[in-house]
Amino acid sequence: MTTYTAKAGQVEQGWVLVDAQNKVLGRLASQIAMRLRGKHRPEYTPHVDTGDYVVVVNAAKLRVTGRKAEQKDYIRHTGYPGGLRRTSFAKVQATRPERALQHAVKGMLPKGPLGYAMLKKLKVYAGSTHPHSAQQPKPLEI
């Protein structure tokens, strides 16, 4: 008996639609990362992108538990001395609501060219509309 290995050109990638309204950030991000990697499929292969495209709407209505809205910080560095910048979750949600979910999912994907390709298949929108209706994404309940 041989093990099946998916080939890059033979994988059928579907489109799914996720409504993020009143969902907890980390729990939603882990389910989305699993979908992007393709771990929900029986033909999952670690070195091939077997995942689906994921469209997320209502990212502005995500929530976090506890006091994470004030305590959770997103840290970046400008590259200059003293250039450490901190932004709280509440401020990120107020200015760029799709960034918090993208950041959480990015940390759950593999690092390197394969992970970057998987992240490009994530489409996040703050409101309830999206421009991907031509792809006919199937609603996914998480």
pLDDT tens column, 57-110: 999 999 999 999 999 999 999 999 999 999 999 999 999 999 999 999 999 999
User: Count of CB atoms within 10 A of residue 29's CB?
Assistant: 24
**Long-range residue pairs from 83-90, CB within 8 A, at least 24 positions apart, any chain:** 89/64
CATH architecture under which domain 14-62+108-139 falls: Alpha-Beta Complex (3.90)
Name the band, by pLDDT with cuts 50, 70 and 90, for residue 53. Answer: very high
Query: Whole-prediction pTM value?
Result: 0.93
The residue extents of the domains of the chain are 14-62+108-139
Looking at residue 22, what DSSP letter applies?
T
User: In this structure, are residues 19 and 101 in contact, taking their beta carbons and an 8 Å threshold?
Assistant: no
The rounded distance, in Å, linking the Cα atoms of 138 and 125 is 16
